[in-house]
Amino acid sequence: MKQIKVKFALNPQETVLFKVDGSYLKSKWQAKPGALCLTNERIVVEGKSMTAFLLFGVIGWLLTRKKVIKEFPLTDITNFSRGKQGFNKKVAVFELLDGSTIRMAITGKWEVFEAAYHKAMLDVKPLFSIN
């Protein structure tokens, strides 16, 4: 299996299952380019600051480090659905326990991302038990 490299620190028993490029949709008019990393414990959105691009151009943007924009554990997700933003129909919508909604536009094939997400969620312990 191919090792996926990330810039953020992983927990001791954590492994990266899937990584896809996209844009973190902060609001209807604001998006931050980045990557969505799916691990067996959490989802991490990492990206670069666009300030360096505005100040120093492409070279400044290439020299900046990636940082974690948003992260949340898989156990906090109450609902996952496919949304849309403008003409883009590949938007992952995560609803969390605290009532907030996180939206991420996905590049590439939606079916591959969705299969990786559902596979990761199978290993997560359920919040409620029937027994």
Structure tokens that stand for 29 in this block: 């008019």
> Among residues 48, 36, 19, 46, which one has the least CA distance to residue 94?
36
Quote the mean pLDDT of the chain.
82
User: Which conformational region is residue 86 in: left (phi greater than 0), alpha (psi within -120 to 50 degrees), or beta?
Assistant: left
Instruction: Specify the 3-state DSSP secondary structure of 66.
Output: coil
* 67-73 and 101-106 beta bridge pairing: unpaired
Count of helices and strands (H, E) across the chain: 2, 7
Tokens of 41: 């414990």
Q: What is the pLDDT of residue 94?
A: 93
**pLDDT, tens only, 69-107:** 888 888 888 899 999 888 889 999 999 999 999 999 998
Say if residue 118's pLDDT is above 80: yes
Structural domains of the chain sorted by starting position, each given as residue range(s) with its CATH number in brackets: 17-125 (2.30.29.30)
Integer CA distances (angstroms), 48 to 14, 53, 99, 126, in order: 23, 9, 27, 34
Q: What is the DSSP letter of 5?
A: P
pTM listed for this prediction:
0.78
The residues near 28 (Cβ < 8 Å, ≥ 6 apart) are: 85
d(CA 112, CA 84): 17
